[in-house]
Amino acid sequence: MYVLKHGIKRNPERRWALPDRIFFGHGACAILAGTFLKHPPLEGFYGERIIPDEGFSGNHIYVTNGLIAFDYHGYCARERLLEHHERSWASRNAGWHCMIAKVDFDLLDKTELNRRKMLGPDQYLQDPIPRARGFSSEETTRKPRQERSGLQRRWRPTTGRLFPIRHRRCAACWSIPGSAAARLR
């Protein structure tokens, strides 16, 4: 899980300068979900909200049809998204628990979002709706990730091949037998 440096969310310029995936994963998830629902590329999607217990952070909004979910990660299985979110927050905050609720408000309405301690579209440095529209259309046309032997792979458009991704801090990536990092230990 990516952790923002202190103060970035309070600084409009620094927040706007974040890469799309981090921008929509740290505070603008409601804008991404609301934009997706305005012109859904697939039928049957609705918004769901992860609401952490009192005193904890970790609020998140995504869209789902009950099986497939879409958020700043792109498309994935709903259960996988929920497991990832819970595992990430629980590893940083002992006793972290949440509930899942269907979104029953307009995700692009400033008043409704502010009532739930989220920013509305007109409270960012620039309009995030075109940015969200571009991000979601990019994600819907991207080739799906494939997993082989536990190693995450991504499509490289320039060569037309899949290549492995290793995250600097991801124990799963660096503990694969035969990997360069495992040989250096």
DSSP assignment of 74-95, as one string?
Answer: EEEEHHHHHHHHHHHHHHHSTT
Domain limits for position 134: 12-141
Find out whether 130 and 86 touch, Cβ atoms under 8 Å. Answer: no
94 and 159 together in one domain: no
Phi, psi of 113 (to 5 degrees): -70, -45
169 and 79 assigned to the same domain: no
Mean pLDDT of 27-50: 94
Residue 130, SS3?
helix
Asked whether residue 133 is assigned to any structural domain, the reply reads yes
**pLDDT tens string 19-38:** 999 999 999 999 999 999 99
**146-168: average pLDDT:** 45
92 and 170 co-located in one domain: no
Q: Residues 25, 105: one domain? A: yes
Compare 125 and 179 and report the one with higher pLDDT: 125
Structurally, the chain folds into a number of domains equal to 2
Provide the pLDDT confidence category of residue 139 given band limits of 50, 70 and 90.
confident
Same domain, 90 and 137: yes
Residue 7 belongs to some domain of the structure: no
Q: What is the pLDDT of residues 153-163, one digit of tens each?
A: 444 444 444 44
